[in-house]
Amino acid sequence: MAPASAQAYVEDDSFERDTDYIPDRITRDGRDGWQVRPDTYRLVAAKACPWATRSIIVRQLLGLQDVISLGLAAPVHDERSWTFDLDLGAKDPVLGIHFLKDAYERRFPAYDKGVTVPAMVDVASGQVVTNDFPQITHDLFFEWQDFHRDDAPDLWPDDVRDEMEEVMQRVYDDVNNGVYRCGFAGSQSSYEEAYDRLFAALDWLEERLAGRRYLMGATITEADVRLFTTLARFDAVYHGHFKCNRNKLTEMPALWGYARDLFQTPGFGDNTNFAQIKQHYYRVHEDINPTGIVPKGPDPAGWRTPHGREALSSS
């Protein structure tokens, strides 16, 4: 089955993510034709998907729940599209559609790329606006600031932004996308190369987080959101399903403590659904898991255990 959740291609037996997303943006000045307005757009996401869960977390951290509505797609789909099987009548209650592809095709009748989440949809027209996932969270911070809650975190601090961009780039290349390069490798050599890059990056992150609470210091930034959604899926999916099995997340003390710290922060753990995560990967990726059997473990109770990282805030 070709998953509707991923735009990808294989080059020289290596997985590469196709990042040719719909480039439109929703901005204060509406320069792309889509202007920031409350009660105008619907964020369609899925708690199964790490890229989409980023946008759910950022939306909540910034307090935009009453400004941008949220539609949640079901974790299991076929090659056609994400669906709204979680909703009554298997239709999104606001958009009135069963397949997310309908919102794409209302704007692009011959749309032939992956129907991905997250997607911002214009409610009035029912048309997709953008599915550019890194730009969506960037714009939720910079373009929607007039509607942020008063104590919203500064997810893009000026004083560390250049370094943060470098950190996020390596996290994306070697960790977020690295696990996929392991899982979808077409040869032993491409798998081993991706595996080595992944664990070199995790070792780098383990060292970095040994002396600081979050990736950029004492406060949560966009970089933490981007890393968290991969860590949350690591032991449940990537360790076995994608063959990322040098060690588990729970065996890396700083990263495991850091991940629990974020999980226990409002916006992170309450938007992490391990059942949906496992259903998605183990049932949709039929080429990797042809039986469709979904593992029972690991026990998620460990995510609620004390992490002891509060003292690092003053480091």
Q: Is 49 a catalytic residue?
A: yes
Helical pair 222-233 and 274-284, crossing angle rounded to 10 deg? 60
Answer yes or no: are the C-beta atoms of 246 and 199 closer than 8 Å: yes
68 touches 42 (CB < 8 A):
yes
pLDDT at position 19: 83
Residue 175 CB contacts under 8 Å (≥ 6 apart), including other chains? 198, 201, 202, 205, 227, 230
Position 1 scores a pLDDT of 36
For tokens 């095709």, the residue is: 105
User: Residue ranges per domain, the chain?
Assistant: 8-147, 158-271
Position 9 scores a pLDDT of 47
| Positions of the chain with pLDDT under 70 | 1-12, 314-315
Q: In CATH, which of 1.20.1050.10, 3.30.70.360, 1.20.120.140, 3.90.25.10 is domain 158-271?
A: 1.20.1050.10
Q: Given this model, what pLDDT does residue 97 score?
A: 98
Q: Which one is catalytic: 49, 104, 195, 258? A: 49
pLDDT for position 12:
65
In 10 A of CB 251, how many CB atoms? 10
The residue whose two tokens read 């990808």 is: 8
* Overall residue count recorded for the chain in this entry: 315
CA distance 125 to 115: 18
Angle at CA 260, nearest 5°, toward 220 and 139? 30
The fold of the 8-147 domain, in CATH, is Glutaredoxin (3.40.30)
The pLDDT tens digits for 180-235 are 999 999 999 999 999 999 999 999 999 999 999 999 999 999 999 999 999 999 99
Residue of 33, 37, 20, 21 whose CA lies nearest to 143: 37
38 upstream amide cis, omega within 30 of 0: no
Is the peptide bond prior to 118 cis by the omega test (within 30 degrees of 0)?
yes
Q: What percent of the chain has pLDDT over 90?
A: 92
DSSP letter assigned to residue 161: H
d(CA 290, CA 314): 49
Give the contacts of 217 (CB within 8 A, at least 6 positions apart): 160
Q: Which of 41, 104, 180, 191 is catalytic?
A: 180
Q: What one-character DSSP code corresponds to residue 274?
A: H
Coil/strand/helix, residue 16: strand
Q: Examine residue 75 and say whether the peptide bond preceding it is cis (omega within 30 degrees of 0).
A: no
Contact assessment for residue 85 and residue 101, using Cβ atoms and an 8 Å cutoff: no
Q: Is 180 a catalytic residue?
A: yes
Quote the pLDDT of residue 11. 59
Fold agreement (8-147, 158-271): no
82 is in an annotated binding site: yes
pLDDT, position 313: 81
Percent of the chain with pLDDT over 70: 96
| pLDDT for position 2 | 37
**CA-closest candidate to residue 130, choices 18, 7, 22, 33:** 22
